[in-house]
């Protein structure tokens, strides 16, 4: 779903740029907000079974405004959805 959302945003970005509307129309202050994540406090959804090769874990962490942040860590790479 995230891939579809990102693709949709990328496809709409050129149309918005051609519309003549300023980029700040939807966010006049231009402020960004971030969630502080404490991976130790996030519930584990799935992880590498004991004795299996490799190392991976999937977590669900609370984010801002009630959003859930899904964290995947595999081979020292972290992905946030």
Q: Is the pLDDT of residue 15 over 90?
A: no
Q: Give how far the C-alpha of residue 29 lies from the chain's centroid of Cα atoms, to the nearest Å.
A: 22
CB 46 within 8 A of CB 61: no
User: What pLDDT was estimated at residue 32?
Assistant: 85
Residue 36, SS3?
Answer: coil
Whether the pTM exceeds 0.95: the reply is no
Alpha carbons 81 and 47: distance in angstroms, whole number: 17
Using alpha carbons only, what angle is made at residue 28 by residues 25 and 33, rounded to the nearest 5 degrees? 115
Q: What is the pLDDT of residue 25?
A: 55
Segments making up each domain of the chain, as ranges = 42-81
pLDDT digits (tens, 9 = 90+) for 19-73: 444 445 555 676 888 888 898 999 999 999 988 888 899 999 998 888 899 999 9
């Amino acid at each position: 779903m995230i891939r579809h959302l990102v693709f949709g945003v990328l496809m709409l970005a050129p149309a918005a740029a051609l519309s003549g509307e300023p980029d700040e129309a939807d966010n006049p202050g231009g402020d960004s907000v971030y969630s502080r994540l404490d991976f130790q406090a996030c519930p584990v959804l799935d992880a590498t079974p004991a004795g299996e090769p490799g190392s991976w874990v999937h977590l669900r962490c609370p984010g801002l405004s009630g959003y859930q942040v899904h964290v995947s860590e595999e081979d020292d790479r972290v992905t946030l959805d």
